[in-house]
Structure 1
Amino acid sequence: MTTQNEKTTAALLHLSAFAKYLIPFAGIVVPLIIWQTKKHQSEYIDENGKSVVNFHLSVLAYSIVIAIVGGIFFIGSIVNYIEIENAGGDVIPIDLITVGIISLSVLGIWTIAEFILVILGTVRANEGSVYKYPFTINFIK
């Protein structure tokens, strides 16, 4: 049976990911440190720790891919705009504006989804179950 102390530690593991809003990469480092120091105390903490760390490593990997794809489209739009300007055209950079709007929308949705999933994981951990985040790559098994 899972003790209240284990549930609280697991919930804090999930919540510790919000440290990234204070210090870059702390959203991965802080849960990793907590998990590494507490994983030997309980299988429950170990499973929640793996879940949290895998999720945030996955978020980092997906974010890098999104940034690369967005950057390619952004650079392509700038090159297109420069070519039109050099050809003597006086055009509003609609594709550049569109890329900006889409990028900000994806970033906003991504951030809201991550926030909701972390809260959900925290609640589930506090209830005594291991939350398996969706779309998670299992880097740590």
Structure 2
Amino acid sequence: MDEQNLTPLPSQDARQWAMFCHLAALIGLVFPFGNLLGPLIVWQLKREVDPFIDDQGKEAMNFQITVAIAAVVCMLLMVVVVGFLLLPLIGLLALVLSIIAGVKANEGKAYRYPLCWRLIK
């Protein structure tokens, strides 16, 4: 049970898969569009197993969609040089927040990314 609101924690398996939903975005460091495909695949395969996995999978997907849109805007802003400064910041922010989200999900806490456009409800 969670001490703060007395709701039962998700099972260890559900927490682990929710963590994988967030950390699967790190595949984007190796493969183009991996930051979108990794969480999408994990979420689609496991979303029916537990509501916690479904919730965190949607959150991971929404954040990675937001990051992808921000990266495209930064690439367009490279014409006026500011994109060269913003793109690495967005990458670093996405990396740090994905790791934090993965850790929180593994603890059984539903993580909400800041500045995230939630397209998938």
Same fold (TM over 0.5): yes
Alignment partner, residue 113 of structure 1? 93
Count of aligned pairs: 113
- Quickly say closer, same or farther: Cα 1:25–1:65, change in 2 above 3 A: same
5+ unaligned residues in a row in structure 2: which ranges? 1-7
List per-residue Cα deviations over 1:4-55 (Å, max 9, x = no partner). 0111111111111000111101111121011011111111000000000000
| 1:24 paired to 2:4 | no
* Identity value in percent: 31
Q: Which has the higher contact order (CA 8 A, sep 6+)?
A: 1
CA RMSD, aligned part only?
1.2
Instruction: Say which one has the larger Rg.
Output: 1
**Residue 70 of structure 2 aligns to a residue in which SS?**
helix
Q: Which of 39, 42, 46 is equivalent to 2:54?
A: 46
**Secondary structure of residue in 1 paired with 2:106:** helix
**Gaps spanning 5+ residues in structure 1: where?**
74-98
Counterpart of 1:46, as a letter, is: D
| 1:70-110: CA deviation from partner (whole Å, max 9, x where unpaired) | 22x2xxxxxxxxxxxxxxxxxxxxxxxxx3xx443322222
The residue type paired with residue 120 of structure 1 is: I
What pairs up with 1:1-141 in 2 under 5 angstroms?
1=8, 2-71=10-79, 73=80, 99=81, 102-141=82-121
TM-score normalized by structure 1? 0.75
**Are the aligned partners of 2:25 and 2:35 in contact in 1 as well (CA < 8 Å)?**
yes
How far is the alpha carbon of 1:59 from its aligned partner? Answer: 0.5
Residue 4 of structure 2 corresponds to none
Give the TM-score of the pair, scaled to structure 2: 0.87
Q: Partner letter of residue 38 of structure 1?
A: K
